[in-house]
């Protein structure tokens, strides 16, 4: 192909409409996203709480720990993170050479929002000799003030790694914290934060479901409240829950976590029955409103325009990286 003008258009200009251009309604979005993944050398990392169609186009689906591990090792030029902000931030912290794009910058998390760094710092200053273990659902600023990061799949291991004579400050999820205190018999000071989705499950409705389905096993995420956890047959991270449903001989499960994960459970065990954990009232509160901000349209635009992009000051990134690396070394 030859060009009449003095400067031939760049490959980018040939391949993609200008940033901000509206979406051509005739496009097959799934096909376009797959094409953009190739032309951008991009990888799509998705959490289980994404809509099914997003999970189906992802290159990798996992729990928070697996997603962080995958983000660290990818050699793709671009990471599109289909999850929430703190997850994309973790990807950037671990792999700063890559461009990290998110479908929607407003995809936050009630746990991260409930733990602002100034309050967290003040809490730590009250107990200067204590070790700070912080759940990965927090901002980069809070990570930078923490000694160790943990996820729901490795929290027990991280707590066990701290010498017995050390006091532990555990933030920001009080439900996961209380679960660990009871399971490990290890006292910890708990930040009083919670996940707005996992607190929504109705104990009364779950009890009713169990009566109607006595053969069903109740499986729960440790972000759920204590009465739900106490009734549960199995407690674990999203990946642990999925694996349990595959390995366990039961053929019916009540799933007390965000409903998105049920998509993978049904795919892995089509002959089994999965009942979504029932929320209080008639809302769709068992769907995370932050996770569900991501759509196919926004993913297409993020890959096309390479925006919005996750950036952070290098000094913050370096400080936040240390407790995450400590976690990964122990995982
Ligand atoms: P995991 O996938 O690590 O279990 O975390 C669940 C969660 O709430 C993520 O926001
Ligand atoms: Fe945060 Fe809860 Fe949503 Fe997970 S499900 S991102 S913990 S609000």
The C-alpha angle with vertex 292 and arms to 289 and 295, in degrees rounded to 5, equals 150
Place of tokens 């499950």: 201
The CATH number of whichever domain residue 179 belongs to comes to 3.40.50.10800
- The string of pLDDT tens digits covering residues 300-327 is 999 999 999 999 999 999 999 999 999 9
Adjacency order of strands within the sheet including 60-62: 60-62, 42-47, 78-82, 99-101
Residue 235 lies in a domain: yes
pLDDT of 15: 62
Question: Is 112:172 a contact under the CB 8 Å cutoff?
Answer: yes
Residues 187 and 216 reside in one and the same domain:
no
Which of the ligands is closest to the CA of residue 197?
A: 2
For residues 262 and 297, membership in a common domain is answered with: no
20 part of a folded domain: no
Q: Give me the number of domains the chain comprises.
A: 3
Considering the domain boundaries, does residue 142 fall inside one? Answer: yes
- 38 and 101 in a single domain? The answer is yes
Residue ending a domain, choose from 171, 191, 211: 191
Domain span holding position 145? 111-191
Residue 215 and residue 252 in one domain: yes
In a domain? residue 6: no
Residue identifier of the C-alpha nearest atom 7 of ligand 1: 64
Report how far apart, in Å, the C-alpha atoms of 253 and of each of 275, 281, 297 are. Answer: 6, 21, 33
With a Cβ cut-off of 6 Å, ligand 2 is lined by: 49, 84, 109-111, 137, 195-197, 223, 258, 288, 290-291
Atom of ligand 1 nearest to the CA of 238: 4
Tell me if 328 is assigned to some domain: no
Give this prediction's pTM.
0.93
User: What's the pLDDT tens digit per position in 72-122?
Assistant: 999 999 999 999 999 999 999 999 999 999 999 999 999 999 999 999 999
């Amino acid at each position: 192909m030859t060009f009449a003008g003095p400067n031939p258009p760049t490959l980018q200009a040939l391949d993609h409409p200008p940033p901000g251009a509206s979406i051509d309604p005739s496009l097959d979005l799934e096909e376009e996203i797959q094409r953009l993944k190739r032309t951008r050398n991009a990888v799509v990392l998705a959490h289980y709480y994404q809509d099914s169609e997003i999970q189906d186009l992802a290159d990798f689906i996992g729990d928070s720990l697996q997603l962080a591990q995958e983000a660290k090792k990818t050699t793709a030029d671009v990471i599109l993170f289909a999850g929430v902000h703190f997850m994309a931030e973790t990807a950037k912290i671990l792999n700063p050479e890559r461009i990290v794009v998110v479908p929607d910058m407003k995809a936050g998390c009630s746990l991260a929002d409930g733990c602002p760094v100034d309050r967290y710092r003040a809490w730590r200053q009250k107990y200067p000799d204590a070790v700070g273990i912080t759940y990965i659902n927090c901002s980069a600023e809070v990570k930078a003030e923490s000694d160790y990061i943990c996820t729901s799949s490795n929290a027990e291991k991280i707590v066990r790694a701290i010498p017995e004579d050390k006091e532990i400050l555990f933030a920001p999820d009080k439900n996961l914290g209380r679960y660990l205190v009871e399971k490990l018999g290890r006292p910890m000071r708990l930040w009083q934060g919670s996940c707005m989705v996992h607190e929504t499950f109705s104990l009364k409705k779950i009890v009713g479901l169990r009566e109607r389905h006595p053969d069903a096993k109740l499986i729960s995420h440790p972000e759920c409240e204590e009465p739900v956890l106490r009734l549960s047959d199995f407690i674990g991270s999203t990946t642990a829950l999925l694996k349990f449903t595959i390995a366990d001989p039961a053929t019916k499960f009540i799933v007390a976590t965000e409903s998105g994960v049920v998509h993978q459970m049904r795919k892995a065990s089509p002959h089994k029955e999965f009942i979504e954990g029932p929320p209080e009232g008639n809302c769709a509160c068992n769907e995370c409103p932050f996770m569900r901000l991501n759509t196919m349209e926004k993913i297409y635009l993020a890959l096309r325009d390479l925006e919005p992009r996750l950036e952070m000051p290098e000094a913050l990134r370096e400080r936040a990286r240390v407790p995450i690396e400590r976690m990964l070394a122990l995982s």
